[in-house]
Structure 1
């Protein structure tokens, strides 16, 4: 596009600059070419400024200052020959390829392995606000790669695997330490300086590091106190080195997802530094998986849930996974491409697919709920990642178009009823949505009584930390104004919680 002037019936070419925005500024016209801004006044075209990075997506005048929306730089205000940039509080980008939640409820996000935007952290409900974001990028830390692939929460540190920049360790003060080729981790076959770390798992004081496509075939490094102390090749087949996920079971066996179409199981038999008794096996479609594995997750019972390119499997015998009957198929999600799996406090399975999110019962036989872009605020049907905050019951859905959160009743159950809370109290049915009974033990039953002892409602909870009452009786009618007794008890009745609530009707 070039710049023309229409004067009556005459069209005159003013300039051949590539114009993408024009703004009427009164006695002049502002013109953006993307990175440059020009002023056209009195038949004269003059450059005002040129951005060092980013492109102008919108332009205006405010208090005699140029205000522009600039890609990768937020809102820019140009005054006295200088730009000042202001960023809205939010993540550095829309990619949410992998997520994890720490013990304080902070959400950590690895953006993407290609054209990534670094690492983001969301701290919910800070000082009564809706939460705050913090971004970690190469612009702040010169050794950092913005192509962040995996984020893991350790006992004292947050670990980040990057696509080309090696491993990052983040401490509680947000200080970063880097481990790459200079620290002894081998890079990919094409460029040994390009170190791809696809997963990290802590085991006591040891840190297991999964290395992708290394030239020396060392797919696993073992680290203690920031020093590499050991490494392993894939003894099943050293050429199978395209591996993307690492999980450790209760007995210390390592389960590895491979792009070669396998789940590798590595058992060091408790003798980490003696490779003579190591065992490696491979699980594939030939053994009962319904597709090439994409993601694995241990549930609250210790079963391994396996997402594949064509559905979902459960491995119920971790000691003998190749034995007949050890691998089961989940019928509800047959032929679905599985991106991620999360487990809630009631052991339900939240499964991210290319067709939205499916919530399955603990054994996978029933579909509890289904969410996609047509029936919920999820921003895309292709949900890349899921993270579940067991303390709050909030689940996060990550897509390439942004993040969505959902408050659920499936937080981790309490050990007893000592922390049971009931809110809002008083409850106004005409204004408030529901009564929340928080701090329940697993699989609680709730009974609501009048102050005189008449039963109003019995509620069977979903099994998690919270239960919901809509303020209605068994007939579906709102109860009248008054004081009500709420009693919650566990399955065998050995634990009981009691509370009161006031109902106020207008």
Structure 2
């Protein structure tokens, strides 16, 4: 190991001070800090869309379209599970609890994840997902003894838990058509019943199920209301089935309608109880059929279609709902909702982080939106038209940070909503702001991009404004002003907008007359439009395509332009038409770029059809993240937007299947450095991990010293608040056991921070 005396000015006094530091300990280092959190993925999804549920004791296990959650009824406690907690897929379709208490989750991909609550471990079964079947989703489970029966999109499989292997797979079940989806499986009095979308089959469970002669099939010709069987249950009247055209009971060898009120209706779930048979209808009702075969409504006007139905030993009823969690009817009490706090939707179309570190999300348009919501790191708060009728619609599709701590949300048809710094909600429409909407309906106002300048103005585009006022500005005194397109007033289909440090507004034109990049500078005189500067850039000026998807301003004031054919870098935004002002980013040539975010170290985070690419500050290095390369920790699906919280280094990646976050070292530097937070401390070497050095001023360098003041390593940091050290000296050797002093200093020596680290050599 190379040792040498430090040449850092003032080192002698620092080492002397740190000798006292050694005696009394490092409270900041002991407290931990960012250590252990760098490079950690976390997923957030909406778990409103219940697909299936299972009950064991007072614990409810729920499979949803955004992962799973456990709910302990007595304690009202939730535990959430997504890709980052061990699931192979968040798009769950089935759940079952086996006799050992292990929980089986099936997904639309065919992956099966088995969770052990005892030791919080996971086991994966990927045989179905890796099969050659074109459709391979898991639709149902039945656990009995050592056996798990698995209903899939193409048949039924039998899995033996003790051997942890498949025993058999049936692509054809008795007389039913081959390779039909198995929707439900039940074991009633030693007979296995299998419901499919093409009929029902039964067989004695002790007989060979691979023998066609073991099975008896039933279809509409045998009295079933429909061949689309959705559930099977025992009842006081015998075996009953739920179909898309009603519920039926087996009488001898034929089926007959159960009760008149359950005929000709879509019955999705059945469950037997001491009170009789409960039946859930897709129309949003639950009926109870008494032992005397009299049906009465149990619950009506549910907010959406039921998807699961359970009853516990106390007689409490649980109704899983499409998009609305679980309606819980405790015995003898009023109904309540079981739903963990979370986003209202898995559509993360647009993201923005405000100065407080709150993430804001807009969800969608054309009927797919569910309003907008915020996340402060702990709690999600939603804003929907059901909660706030003044919003006028749930189709809010863009989120942006405005002036004076405000947040703005662009709607598809109503105008724009603003949350002020105190949380007050304001909605600006054609009626109260002067917007003029599309030519066919001037009251239908679609706001595009929103951005604020350094004078407290909030700017936005008005898509296809019928009066030509395609740019609007909300001033610090809460008045509205409007601008026509000074380059070409007939071009009004203007969408996203950003503002650079020079006050220039960069605006995407999607106008079919002339797509490209519009730029505009009002020169600080809102009331004098005669001095405004306008310009327009296309492929003639060096853009790789005129079909622009996104624009961003980096930490140096440069402009980055994402298109359907790659990425451009405008290195001279004050004179963008000058020779060499626009250059293509060659590594992404021909690749669609749909979003760009810039972190505290000026790295660019770029979304592509394959995932996300992180470009270094100078663009010379690139790291790609995909769902496959991260083992599903980056949620699959299409990336809608990316945002960065510079105060924590968190990168938010919004997709159409949920939100992924990644913690990075790109944290804004501290204004005044003093003590360093080192983690983990003590640090064991050699190690696959690193020591996190937290608390750096901008552009710091770091020296690692022994307790004798000898330098074992020194390096420049990335420039932000955090740096990493791998516990090795300048020659790449792991340092010996001992106490080491970490000293960070700025280039001019004006700021120095220190910390103490214990190293244990294995």
Are 2:411 and 1:165 equivalent residues in the alignment? no
For residues 425-465 of structure 1, give each alpha carbon's deviation from its aligned partner in whole angstroms, at most 9, with x where no partner exists.
Answer: 34466999542111223343333232233444445433322
2:220 alignment partner in structure 1: none
RMSD: 2.5
Aligned residues: 499
Superposition deviation, residue 494 in structure 1: 5.5
Are 2:629 and 1:375 equivalent residues in the alignment? yes
- Structure 1: gaps (5+ residues): 125-130
Using the TM superposition, name which of 97-106 and 391-400 deviates more: 97-106
Calculate the TM-score normalised by the size of structure 1: 0.91
1:33 alignment partner in structure 2: 281
Which of 115, 131, 135 is the equivalent residue of 2:382? 135
Q: Equivalents in 2 of 1:334, 1:382: separation in Å?
A: 20
Are 2:593 and 1:338 equivalent residues in the alignment? yes
Which of 521, 524, 540 is the equivalent residue of 1:267? 521
Superposition deviation, residue 31 in structure 1: 2.1
In structure 2, the CA distance between the partners of 1:433 and 1:320, relative to structure 1 (3 Å rule), is closer
1:104 alignment partner in structure 2: 356
2:669 alignment partner in structure 1: 413
2:215 alignment partner in structure 1: none
Q: Equivalents in 2 of 1:22, 1:379: separation in Å?
A: 34
Q: Equivalents in 1 of 2:440, 2:341: separation in Å?
A: 39
Matches within 5 A, 1:379-390: 379-390=635-646
Which of 425, 435, 446 is the equivalent residue of 1:185? 435
Calculate the TM-score normalised by the size of structure 2: 0.62
Superposition deviation, residue 220 in structure 1: 1.2
1:350 alignment partner in structure 2: 605
Superposition deviation, residue 195 in structure 1: 1.4
2:396 alignment partner in structure 1: 148
Matches within 5 A, 1:21-100: 21-25=269-273, 28-34=276-282, 35-42=284-291, 43-62=293-312, 63-79=314-330, 83-100=335-352
Q: Equivalents in 2 of 1:37, 1:349: separation in Å?
A: 52
Larger of the two Rg values belongs to structure = 2
1:175 alignment partner in structure 2: 424
In structure 2, the CA distance between the partners of 1:24 and 1:473, relative to structure 1 (3 Å rule), is farther
1:399 alignment partner in structure 2: 655
Q: Equivalents in 2 of 1:293, 1:186: separation in Å?
A: 25
Q: Equivalents in 1 of 2:420, 2:360: separation in Å?
A: 13
* Residues 73 and 86 in structure 1, CA contact (< 8 A), matched pair in contact too: no
2:489 alignment partner in structure 1: 238
For residues 236-290 of structure 1, give each alpha carbon's deviation from its aligned partner in whole angstroms, at most 9, with x where no partner exists.
Answer: 2223211111222222222111213211111333432222333321111222111
Using the TM superposition, name which of 408-417 and 389-398 deviates more: 408-417
For residues 196-246 of structure 1, give each alpha carbon's deviation from its aligned partner in whole angstroms, at most 9, with x where no partner exists.
Answer: 111222332433232111111111123335644421111222232111112
Using the TM superposition, name which of 189-198 and 412-421 deviates more: 412-421
* Residues 687 and 726 in structure 2, CA contact (< 8 A), matched pair in contact too: no
Which of 447, 458, 470 is the equivalent residue of 1:197? 447
Using the TM superposition, name which of 464-473 and 426-435 deviates more: 426-435
Which of 251, 270, 279 is the equivalent residue of 2:533? 279
Q: Equivalents in 1 of 2:478, 2:467: separation in Å?
A: 19
Q: Which has the higher contact order (CA 8 A, sep 6+)?
A: 2
For residues 382-418 of structure 1, give each alpha carbon's deviation from its aligned partner in whole angstroms, at most 9, with x where no partner exists.
Answer: 2111111111111111001000111101111234422
Superposition deviation, residue 353 in structure 1: 1.8
Q: Equivalents in 2 of 1:312, 1:370: separation in Å?
A: 15
Superposition deviation, residue 164 in structure 1: 1.4
Q: Equivalents in 2 of 1:151, 1:29: separation in Å?
A: 48
Are 2:745 and 1:489 equivalent residues in the alignment? yes
Q: Equivalents in 2 of 1:25, 1:198: separation in Å?
A: 54
1:128 alignment partner in structure 2: none
